[in-house]
Chains A and B, each alone.
Chain A
Amino acid sequence: MIKSTKKSVVGSSASSGRIKAIDIVNKGLKRRYRKEKRFRLYGMLSILASVAFLAFLLTSIVFNGYSAFLQTYIKLDVPLEAGMIDKQEPGRSDFQGIIKSAIRSYYPEVTERQDKRELYALFSSGAAFQLRDTVLSNPPEEGTTLSLWVLADDDVDMLMKGHMKRDVPEGSRRLNDKQLRWIERLEADKRVEKRFNTTFFSAGDSREPELAGIWGAVKGSIYTMLVTLALSFPIGICAAVYLEEFAPKNLATDFIEVNINNLAAVPSIVFGLLGLAVFLNFFGMPRSTPLVGGIVLMLMTLPTIIIASRAALKAVPPSIREAALGVGSSKLQVVASHVLPLALPGMLTGTIIGMAQALGETAPLLMIGMVAFIVDIPGGFTDPAAVMPVQIYLWADSPERAFVERTSAAIMVLLAFLISMNAVAVVMRKRFERRW
C-alpha cells in the first residue's frame, strides 16, 4: 500500500513537478470522498426504508389494537331479595336469573319475550360470573342492593368505541334501534363507562370477545419456551463445542455439519409432522401440550443455535488457546475457562434468535394439536395450551368485529414478550462481558 503510493508520487513529481502530483492526489481524494459519501447515502436510505416499513407496521397494529385495552362496563343495580342466594351453597344460586331480574327492574317497560332477549343481549354472559364472584368473596345481607359494574356485550363495546356507527340504517348494524335507545338511556344515567380491560390480561380464550383474554396463550407460550430453552440451549452448545473443539475433522463430522446446515433450512411444518409421528403417535405424549410443542420447537431452533455457537467459538482468537495451553491447561480447561466465556455472548445471540423464531412459530404446532380452542389457563407443561401466535391466528379468523382489535392487541403483547425476552438476553450478555 504505502510503497505503491510513494511510487506514484515520486514518479509524477519526477516527470512534471511537485504541484502536479498534489493535484493528482487531490483529484483522487475528491473522487474517494464522493464515493464514500454515496456509499453512506445508500446505507442511510436502506435503513430509512426499513425503519419506515417497521413504523408503518407498528402504527397500524397499535392503531387497530389500542382500543382493546379498554372495555365497556355497565353499572347495574342488583337487588338481592330473600331466597335469591342459596343459603347452604351460595355458589349454586341462579346468578343468571338474578342478573336478568336486575336488568328487568331497570327497564320495567320491556315485557315482550323477543324484546327481553334483545335487552339481555346488551349484557355479557360474564355478568353472572362477576356477580357470583362478588357474592362469594363478600357475602351480602339479604335485601341489600348491590351496585355492580358488569361487562357489556361486545356489540355494545364496539358501539361505544365508535367501531359501529349509529347513523346507518338499522339493517346494516348488529344492534337495532330499540337496543340503541336502551343504551342511550344508560348513557344518560351515566351508567356506561370504558375501563381498563383486565379480562384481556387475565382470561383464556372464549367465544365471547369481551370474555376472551390472552393470558392463557401467554402462559402457554412461556411453558413452551421454557421447554424449548431448557432443551435446545444445553444440547446446542454441547454439540457446537464438541464439533468445534474436540471432534476430529473427518468425513463423518463433515457429514454431520452438512446435515445441520440443511436442517436449518427445513420448513418448520416438517418438524411438526415429525413431532406428530414420533412424540404423539410413537411415544404417546399428550396432545396439545407445551411439552410436545417445546420439543418440536427445540428441533427447529437447534440448528440455529448450533450454527451461531460454532461461529462464536470460531471467532475466539487461537492465541488465547495457545496462551492457556502454554501455562499448562488441559484442553477441557481451556474450553471451559477461556473459550466458552468468550464465545458465550455470541452463543446467547444465536439462542435468542432461535427462541424468537420459535416464539412466533405456528405451523409445526398445528400438527401437534396446539390450535385447539382452549379456555382453561394452562397450569403446567402437560396441560393443553395454546401459544400466542396460534391465538392470534384463531382470533384473526373470527368474524366478530371485537376480535379484530383483540388480534392487534395480542400482536402487541407478543411483541412486548419478544422485546422483554431479548432484553433479558442482552442483560445476560452484558453481565458475561463484564466478567472479563
Chain B
Amino acid sequence: MQMTAEAKSSNQSASKSGASREIFLPPERDRVKDGGKPHLSAKNFSIFYGDFEAVKKIEADILSKYVTAIIGPSGCGKSTFLRAINRMNDLIPSCYTSGSLMFDGEDVYGKYTDEVQLRRKIGMVFQKPNPFPKSIFDNIAYGPRLQGVKEKKVLDEIVEKSLRKAALWDEVKDRLDKNALGLSGGQQQRLCVARTLAVEPEILLLDEPTSALDPKSTAKIEDLIEELRGSYTIAIVTHNMQQASRVSDYTMFFYEGDLVEYAPTKQLFTNPRDQVTEDYITGRFS
C-alpha cells in the first residue's frame, strides 16, 4: 500500500515534467547515429480492461534506435503496455485506452490510423511462441508475401537472412518445409523473432523473448539485439535484470500499472531514484 503511494507520487513528478521532457542520451561512445528522437510518445496514456486500469497515465518517450527494457513484477502491466503499442489489444473487446500515444507524430489510436500499416511498422514477438501451423519457410515468408514479394529467390534470401539473424538457420536449414509446430519451444520462439524481422519493422517489441530459451540461444538473441541496436527501435520486456542491464540503454520500471521510474539503464540500476525500484532490482520482492 505504502509502495503504491510512493509510486503514485513519483509518477506525478514525472508527469509534471511531461511538457518539456528532457532526453538523457547515453555517453558519447554509446550513442547511435540519428538516434534519440522520441519514436513513441505516451501522454497521460492509460489502458483499461473494463473498469480495471491495468496501465495508469503513462508519460514517456521511447527513443528511436535505442533499446528500452521494460521491467517489473508479474502482472504489473508490461505486456499490456507493449501490446497497446501496436494495437494488439484491439482483439480484447473489454480493452480500451485513454490519453494519447504517438508514433512518429501519428496518433496510434487516432480515428484515421490504419492499424494494419501500423502493425507492419511495429513488429512484435509475443510472450508465448505462436508459430503458424505451417512450414518453417511459410512462417517466415508469410509477412513478405503479404507485402507483395512473390519471387522465390527473394523470399529464399529473406528467409535465410531472418533465420540467421534469429540464430536459428543452422538448426532448421535442412527442414524448411517441415511444420513449424515440430520445433522445440525455444526454436519456436526464435522462429517468431525471425518472422517479425522478415517484415523489417521500424520498432521491435519483444515480450520476454528469451524466457523459454537456454543460455546459448539467449545469448544469441541478446547478440541479435545488440546488432539491431542503432537500426531498429527496440522495446524488450524481461524478468532478467542482468539481461536488462546487458542489452538496454534505457529501462522502464512498472509497478502495479504505474511507470515508477524511467531512466538510462546504468543510472536506474546503480542509482535508482525510487525506493520501490531499488527494492525490486535488488530482489527484495518480485
Tell me if A324 counts as interface (CB < 8 A to partner B).
yes
Q: What are the residues of chain B within 8 A of A319 when measuring CB–CB?
A: 126, 128, 130
Q: What are the residues of chain A within 8 A of B128 when measuring CB–CB?
A: 319
Write the A318-336 contact mask toward B (1 if CB under 8 angstroms, else 0): 1111111111111001000
With A328-B119, A328-B143, A329-B116 as contacts: A323 and B192 at CB distance below 8 Å: yes
With A319-B126, A322-B130 as contacts: A328 and B93 at CB distance below 8 Å: no
Give B13 Cβ to nearest chain A Cβ, in Å: 35
> Does more than half of chain A's interface fall in helix, strand or loop, or is it mixed?
helix
Give B151 Cβ to nearest chain A Cβ, in Å: 19
Tell me if A342 counts as interface (CB < 8 A to partner B).
yes
Inter-chain contact A342/B133, CB cutoff 8 Å? yes
Closest Cβ neighbor of A326 among chain B residues: B124
- Complex-state Cα separation, A323 to B198, whole angstroms: 13
Most buried by B among A249, A317, A327, A342: A327
Question: Which A273-326 residues sit within 8 Å CB-CB of chain B?
Answer: 317-326
Give B93 Cβ to nearest chain A Cβ, in Å: 6
Interface size on A, residues (CB 8 A): 19
Closest Cβ neighbor of A330 among chain B residues: B116
Q: What are the residues of chain A within 8 A of B116 when measuring CB–CB?
A: 325, 328-330
Tell me if B225 counts as interface (CB < 8 A to partner A).
no
Write the B70-95 contact mask toward A (1 if CB under 8 angstroms, else 0): 00000000000000001010010100
Closest Cβ neighbor of A328 among chain B residues: B120
Inter-chain contact A436/B134, CB cutoff 8 Å? yes
Give B74 Cβ to nearest chain A Cβ, in Å: 17
Q: What are the residues of chain B within 8 A of A317 when measuring CB–CB?
A: 130
Tell me if A429 counts as interface (CB < 8 A to partner B).
no
Closest Cβ neighbor of B83 among chain A residues: A322
Inter-chain contact B132/A338, CB cutoff 8 Å? yes
Interface size on B, residues (CB 8 A): 27
**A249, A322, A329, A436: the one within 8 Å of B126 (CB):** A322
Write the B139-167 contact mask toward A (1 if CB under 8 angstroms, else 0): 00011001100000000000000000000
Tell me if B217 counts as interface (CB < 8 A to partner A).
no
Give B235 Cβ to nearest chain A Cβ, in Å: 14
**A322, A327, A328, A342: the one within 8 Å of B88 (CB):** A322
Count A-B pairs with CB separation below 8 Å: 61
Closest Cβ neighbor of B86 among chain A residues: A326
Closest Cβ neighbor of B198 among chain A residues: A327
Closest Cβ neighbor of A433 among chain B residues: B133
Closest Cβ neighbor of B192 among chain A residues: A323
Q: What are the residues of chain A within 8 A of B130 when measuring CB–CB?
A: 317, 319-320, 322-323
Q: What are the residues of chain B within 8 A of A320 when measuring CB–CB?
A: 130, 132-133
Tell me if B195 counts as interface (CB < 8 A to partner A).
yes
- Complex-state Cα separation, A352 to B142, whole angstroms: 32
Inter-chain contact A327/B146, CB cutoff 8 Å? yes
- Complex-state Cα separation, A7 to B143, whole angstroms: 50
Inter-chain contact B146/A318, CB cutoff 8 Å? no
Tell me if B136 counts as interface (CB < 8 A to partner A).
no
Give A316 Cβ to nearest chain B Cβ, in Å: 10
Give B180 Cβ to nearest chain A Cβ, in Å: 10
Give B91 Cβ to nearest chain A Cβ, in Å: 6
Inter-chain contact B147/A328, CB cutoff 8 Å? yes
Inter-chain contact A329/B132, CB cutoff 8 Å? no
Give B115 Cβ to nearest chain A Cβ, in Å: 8
- Complex-state Cα separation, A323 to B195, whole angstroms: 9
Give B96 Cβ to nearest chain A Cβ, in Å: 14
Q: What are the residues of chain A within 8 A of B91 when measuring CB–CB?
A: 318, 321-322, 325
Closest Cβ neighbor of B127 among chain A residues: A319
With A320-B132, A342-B133, A436-B134 as contacts: A325 and B123 at CB distance below 8 Å: no
Closest Cβ neighbor of B133 among chain A residues: A436
- Complex-state Cα separation, A329 to B144, whole angstroms: 11
Closest Cβ neighbor of B195 among chain A residues: A327
Question: Which A105-129 residues sit within 8 Å CB-CB of chain B?
Answer: none
Inter-chain contact A329/B146, CB cutoff 8 Å? yes
Inter-chain contact A327/B126, CB cutoff 8 Å? no
Give A271 Cβ to nearest chain B Cβ, in Å: 34
**B88, B134, B147: the one within 8 Å of A325 (CB):** B88
Q: What are the residues of chain B within 8 A of A329 when measuring CB–CB?
A: 116, 146
Write the B103-134 contact mask toward A (1 if CB under 8 angstroms, else 0): 00000000000001101100110101011111
Give B232 Cβ to nearest chain A Cβ, in Å: 15
With A320-B132, A322-B91 as contacts: A327 and B196 at CB distance below 8 Å: yes
Inter-chain contact A323/B146, CB cutoff 8 Å? no
Inter-chain contact A326/B119, CB cutoff 8 Å? yes
Tell me if B199 counts as interface (CB < 8 A to partner A).
yes
Most buried by A among B146, B179, B198: B146
- Complex-state Cα separation, A390 to B6, whole angstroms: 79
- Complex-state Cα separation, A373 to B147, whole angstroms: 61
**A249, A323, A342: the one within 8 Å of B93 (CB):** A249
Closest Cβ neighbor of A337 among chain B residues: B142
Most buried by B among A319, A323, A338, A342: A323
- Complex-state Cα separation, A140 to B93, whole angstroms: 82
- Complex-state Cα separation, A338 to B142, whole angstroms: 11
Q: What are the residues of chain A within 8 A of B196 when measuring CB–CB?
A: 326-327
Write the B165-204 contact mask toward A (1 if CB under 8 angstroms, else 0): 0000000000000010000000000001001101100000
Inter-chain contact A324/B124, CB cutoff 8 Å? no
Give B197 Cβ to nearest chain A Cβ, in Å: 10
Inter-chain contact A326/B134, CB cutoff 8 Å? no
Q: What are the residues of chain B within 8 A of A327 when measuring CB–CB?
A: 119-120, 123, 142-143, 146, 195-196, 198-199
List 24 A-B pairs, Cβ < 8 Å: A249-B93, A317-B130, A320-B130, A322-B88, A322-B126, A323-B131, A323-B192, A325-B91, A326-B88, A326-B123, A326-B126, A326-B196, A327-B119, A327-B123, A327-B143, A327-B146, A327-B195, A327-B196, A327-B199, A328-B146, A328-B199, A329-B116, A342-B133, A436-B179
Q: A320-B132, A321-B91 are in contact. List 6 more A-B contacts (CB 8 A).
A: A249-B93, A320-B130, A323-B195, A326-B196, A327-B120, A327-B142
6 shortest A-B CB distances, which residue pairs? A328-B120, A327-B143, A319-B130, A323-B130, A436-B133, A326-B124
Interface residues of A (CB under 8 A from B): 249, 317-330, 333, 338, 342, 436
